[in-house]
């Protein structure tokens, strides 16, 4: 049976977006959605590149362990796999700083109660633009999938996106978050 749970316009002003995304990525259904089309450097190889005011940092695929929660089956799932992180920072000619971050997790795990085998996928994107005037905007998307293999409890999908824009006084002008969860 498919169940949809959607919350719109959830206010997170004042909360750390990074903290929120970290917490949410391991709750609900747990995990990741897609891998980058290019796997990047070999496992364990971090790279940093500089060019024309742009800095790029990426980890390559690194070992990952965590616990996801499948709310559809009310069970924890210990997952192991790999995580890939990439950050690009650019300072423009006016002194504005622009940051994009992407993270991907690909893992498998076993349900603590059911013994069901799961595939866990996570894709997280974050961008922030800080302007010399003091205004800023940020956007984020988190897609998690905890997919059962074979028979067992239901799979779960968590999707979160949002955008925040402030004026030069730091007061939010636009603040929208959308959260959906599907069993």
Q: pLDDT by residue (tens digit) across 70-111? A: 888 888 999 999 999 999 999 888 889 999 999 999 999 999
- What's the chain's Rg over C-alpha atoms? 18
- pLDDT greater than 70 at residue 131: yes
Establish if 25 belongs to a structural domain: yes
| Cα 150 from Cα 123, distance rounded (Å) | 24
| Cα 76 from Cα 102, distance rounded (Å) | 25
Establish if 166 belongs to a structural domain: yes
Establish if 78 belongs to a structural domain: yes
Task: Give me the DSSP letters along 2-29.
Answer: --EEEEES---TTS-HHHHHHHHHTSTT
Structure-model confidence comparison of residues 154 and 179, the more confident one: 179
Percent of the chain with pLDDT over 70: 70
Stretch 35-40: mean pLDDT: 40
Establish if 133 belongs to a structural domain: yes
Establish if 170 belongs to a structural domain: yes
- pLDDT greater than 70 at residue 37: no
Establish if 41 belongs to a structural domain: no
Per-residue pLDDT, 10 = 28
Provide the domain limits for residue 67: 4-36+47-182
| Cα 160 from Cα 106, distance rounded (Å) | 18
| 8 A C-beta contact, residue 140 and residue 123 | no
Question: Strands 117-130, 97-111: parallel, antiparallel or unpaired by DSSP?
Answer: antiparallel
For the question of whether the overall pTM of this predicted structure is more than 0.75, the answer is no
pLDDT tens-digit map of 41-56: 444 555 555 556 678 8
Establish if 42 belongs to a structural domain: no
Split into its structural domains, the chain has a count of 1
Establish if 85 belongs to a structural domain: yes
- Taking CA atoms, 157 is separated from 13, 24, 38, 182, in Å, by 25, 12, 24, 5
DSSP 8-state class, residue 155: P
Q: What beta strand segments (E) does 95-168 contain?
A: 97-111, 117-130, 136-149, 156-166
Percent of the chain with pLDDT over 90: 38
């Amino acid at each position: 049976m498919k169940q949809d749970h959607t919350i719109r316009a959830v206010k997170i002003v004042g909360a750390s977006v990074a903290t929120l995304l970290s917490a949410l990525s391991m709750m609900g259904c747990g995990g990741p959605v897609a891998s980058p089309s290019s796997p990047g450097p070999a496992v364990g190889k971090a790279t940093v590149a500089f060019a024309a005011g742009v800095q790029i940092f990426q980890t390559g695929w690194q070992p990952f362990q965590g616990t996801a929660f499948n709310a559809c089956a009310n069970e924890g799932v210990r997952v192991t796999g790999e995580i890939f992180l990439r950050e690009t920072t650019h300072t423009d000619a006016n002194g504005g700083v622009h940051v994009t971050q992407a993270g991907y997790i690909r893992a498998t795990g076993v349900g603590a109660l059911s013994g069901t085998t799961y595939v866990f996928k996570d894709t997280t994107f974050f961008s922030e633009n800080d302007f010399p005037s003091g205004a800023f905007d940020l956007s984020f998307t988190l897609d998690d999938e905890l997919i059962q293999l074979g028979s067992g409890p239901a799979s779960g999908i968590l999707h979160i996106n949002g955008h925040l824009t402030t004026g030069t006084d730091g007061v939010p002008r636009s603040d929208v978050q959308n959260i959906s969860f599907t069993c």
